[in-house]
Amino acid sequence: MVKKALLILPCNSCVRFGDYSLCPNWRMVLKHVGHLVSAGVLDLAAIDSCKPGLVLWGGEDKLRWCDRNPRWDLLYGRDPLRLQLLIESVVADLKELAVWYDVVASYVNVKAYRLALRTAAEIVGVRLLDLGPPKLNPLSYVKHAKELPLYFR
pLDDT tens, the chain, 153 aa long: 456 999 999 999 999 999 999 999 999 999 999 999 999 999 999 999 989 999 999 999 999 888 777 777 777 888 899 999 999 999 999 999 999 999 999 999 999 999 999 999 999 999 999 998 988 888 888 888 999 998 887
Contacts of residue 68, Cβ cutoff 8 Å, sequence gap at least 6:
49, 50, 75
Q: Which domains does the chain have, with CATH numbers?
A: 5-147 (3.40.50.10630)
Check: CB of residue 46 under 8 Å from CB of residue 90. no
Looking at residue 1, what is its pLDDT?
Answer: 41
pTM (global) more than 0.85: yes
Check: CB of residue 12 under 8 Å from CB of residue 108. no
Would you call 5 helix, strand, or coil by DSSP? strand
Distance CA 119, CA 117 (A): 6
- Quick one: which of 49, 36, 31, 39 has its CA closest to 7? 36
Distance CA 57, CA 61 (A): 9
Distance CA 6, CA 100 (A): 9
Contacts of residue 124, Cβ cutoff 8 Å, sequence gap at least 6:
91, 94, 95, 98
Write the DSSP symbol of residue 57.
T
Burial class (CB in 10 A: 0-12, 13-18, 19+), 106: buried
Looking at residue 9, what is its pLDDT?
Answer: 97
